[in-house]
Structure 1
Amino acid sequence: MRIHVWNAFASNNSGSYTIVGRFPTEELAARVAAELSQVLEEHERWRRSPGSRHEDPENPSPLRVLTQTYSLTQSEADLADQGELRVWSTGHQVFLHDPWTLTLQDSYEEYLRGRGGKVETRIRHAHGCIVSLFELHGTLPKKTKAETVSAVVEELYADDGPLVTLAPFDVQPAWREGSRPGEPVLTLGAVFQDLDLAPGYTAVEGIARRHGLRVSVRVSEDQSPGDPLGWLRPSHPPLERKLFDVWILEAGFSSKEVARRLTELRRGRYIDGPTVLKWIPDAVLKRLTRARAEQAVKFLREGGANAEPRPAG
């Protein structure tokens, strides 16, 4: 008898990469983000064109032109597939985020500094979710401060608001109203998925601006074993609307199918059939708006589960 034994490890090579730059004015931050976004779009079209892997010195790639124009470090990474690199601005900040890459070349940070900014945050090769902490600042009359903060939260948590449409089911947003001098008017924590970061940030900033507030964002990688926003809970001020939990009472004919649907609802956080059976009966999604809870219940019932919404405790 012959026995073969293999010992292998997952390479786990690709992760997310985030750079945050800060600029002296919002106008400059918006201009830098727009210019870099345009270069990346042009480079992507160039990269997909025939023969782009063999760069012609007489016709360099858009990223190569950028590095030459600003005398930045040039690298063969200019020609690499950078995944889904996106650039956007929020207030004085410019964000670069790529969910699937080994690294980002030094020229991006050099470019931000060369345009008058400073690099305040870099998260290299993250495999956890990106935790976004929004700090809303502004001068509000004491008599109307609580009313304004409540209006902002209600708008953020509307059925079509960013905290409902873009936040994953399993890590619900949390917030806290500032009460001391120098504190933000409102501190809001959210864990958007990689491709929802830019639209999420833009939506939060738009709502804040409509109420006369400006936004600054701090980002970090979620490396906590539990709730990364637990320190902000319970949220204050509370929402005026009632929230609901989704309960699964029975898995029905296929716990595997229910697990697949629950994984989809939780934005890719993998769950298997035996795990679902261990949870039953219990709340599998928590503190959702009525519309979102009913949507999730309908989806789970279509997979055979006996599910129902219940008022959140």
Structure 2
Amino acid sequence: MRIHVWNAFASNNSGSYTIVGRFPSEELAAQVAAELSEVLAAQKGWRRTPGARWNEEGPEPETPSPLRAFTQANSLTQTGADWADQGELRAWSTGHQVILHDPWTLGLQDSYEEFLKVRGGKVEKVIRHAHGDLVSRFELRGTLPKKTKAATVSALVEELHADDGPLVMQAPFDIQPAWREGSKPNEPVLTLGAAFHDLAAGFTGVATLARHHGLEVTVQVSEDEALGDPLAWLRPSQPPLKRKLFDVWLLGTGYSAKEVALRLEKLRHGRYVDVPGLLKLIPDTVLKRLTQARAEQAVRFLRECGANAELRPAE
């Protein structure tokens, strides 16, 4: 008797799509983002109705989808509007910019870029079908009093690293954020580099804190395609963080390495954790640069399934 065993992973052609547009004013950018968000929410609801047709080769639905009605009203490309695979597509504004992002789709229609132009915007960046991490470079600009500038920047960095801050809640394991305070007249007050699990949450978190200190935000997005650290040019980060951060170390998996891997996936926001690879690395850091409260929560969560985990001060 012969037994043949195969171990394989299914291929998937889906990737992320990102569009960044710029508008003359923050008010117009916010309005355009709201219009897009409204039609995207309506389209998502329409797709869930029993009568909605999803097959591109089938006849058009008797009642046009919200997206088709939107493209017709704005004289935009209508091809595939009823079947657009955009269940996770989101739109939001950051300062003068409008960002559309879908983390997992086969493609986006041309109508979105067209709409940004119709509404008076300029398309700055389109990242089609990305499979790598998206790295964002934020430039925070504004006029701060010389006497309080250093203190304001330091306070902002601390706020970004709060227990619920975007650099703690949204930073992935593989790419840690970095920043640099501007020292010359034409430089941004603060340049921040980060990759986020949830682009909308990360962008909104940074922009909200920046506005609190009277700073405007501009962002550039690119796909991380190079080997090594994409934010090495910003390290070491300045000003240094005063808050102590902690890493979570895994010293042993206990009775179920599979359960530990599943829990790590949750802690890493759904990123796949390979069990054999995890076992080879032990002991090693599995989560980086968390606040003490977040690190303690993660340690407790891992210990619940028998793992030997502990927190240590981050380097």
Letter in 1 for 2:212: R
Residues 25-44 of structure 1 show CA distances to partners (whole Å, capped at 9, x for unaligned) of 11111111111111122222
Contact kept, 8 Å, 1:169 with 1:265, in 2: the verdict is no
1:303 aligns with 2:310: no
How many residues are matched? 307
How far off its partner does 1:82 sit? 1.8
Residues 57-112 of structure 1 show CA distances to partners (whole Å, capped at 9, x for unaligned) of 6x432222222222212202443332311111110000111122211111111111
How far off its partner does 1:149 sit? 0.4
1:86 aligns with 2:90: yes
Unaligned runs of 5+ in 2: 54-58
Q: Distance in 2 between matches of 1:11 and 1:282?
A: 29
Contact kept, 8 Å, 2:173 with 2:286, in 1: the verdict is no
Residues 262-294 of structure 1 show CA distances to partners (whole Å, capped at 9, x for unaligned) of 233223333333323322223332222111111
| Structure 1 equivalent of residue 218 of structure 2 | 216
| Structure 1 equivalent of residue 196 of structure 2 | 192
* 1:68/1:250 CA distance change after superposition, 3 Å: closer
| Structure 2 equivalent of residue 256 of structure 1 | 258
Q: Distance in 2 between matches of 1:82 and 1:261?
A: 28
How far off its partner does 1:11 sit? 4.4
CA RMSD of aligned residues (A): 2.4
How far off its partner does 1:10 sit? 5.0
Contact kept, 8 Å, 1:170 with 1:266, in 2: the verdict is no
| Structure 2 equivalent of residue 142 of structure 1 | 146
1:67 aligns with 2:60: no
* 1:183/1:255 CA distance change after superposition, 3 Å: same
How far off its partner does 1:56 sit? 5.2
1:289 aligns with 2:296: no
| Structure 1 equivalent of residue 39 of structure 2 | 39
How far off its partner does 1:311 sit? 1.5
Contact kept, 8 Å, 2:23 with 2:96, in 1: the verdict is yes
* 1:226/1:265 CA distance change after superposition, 3 Å: farther
Q: Distance in 2 between matches of 1:254 and 1:45?
A: 40
- Partner of 2:164, secondary structure, is coil
Q: Larger deviation: 145-154 or 199-208?
A: 199-208
- Partner of 2:17, secondary structure, is strand
Q: Distance in 2 between matches of 1:78 and 1:142?
A: 55
- Partner of 1:94, secondary structure, is strand
Q: Distance in 2 between matches of 1:248 and 1:105?
A: 44
Q: Distance in 2 between matches of 1:11 and 1:300?
A: 30
How far off its partner does 1:206 sit? 0.9
Letter in 1 for 2:220: R
* 1:49/1:212 CA distance change after superposition, 3 Å: same
Q: Distance in 1 between matches of 2:135 and 2:159?
A: 21
- Partner of 1:208, secondary structure, is helix
| Structure 2 equivalent of residue 28 of structure 1 | 28
**What percentage of residue pairs aligned between the two structures are identical?**
74
Residues 149-204 of structure 1 show CA distances to partners (whole Å, capped at 9, x for unaligned) of 011111111112222222234432221111122111111122111xx211221121
Contact kept, 8 Å, 2:249 with 2:311, in 1: the verdict is yes
| Structure 2 equivalent of residue 15 of structure 1 | 15
Q: Distance in 1 between matches of 2:176 and 2:227?
A: 16
Unaligned runs of 5+ in 1: none
1:97 to 93, 101, 110: 101
Letter in 2 for 1:38: E
Letter in 2 for 1:64: R
Superposition TM-score, scaled by structure 2 size? 0.89
Alignment of 1:152-301 (within 5 A): 152-193=156-197, 196-301=198-303
Q: Larger deviation: 72-81 or 206-215?
A: 72-81
- Partner of 1:249, secondary structure, is strand
Superposition TM-score, scaled by structure 1 size? 0.90
* 1:55/1:232 CA distance change after superposition, 3 Å: same
| Structure 1 equivalent of residue 56 of structure 2 | none
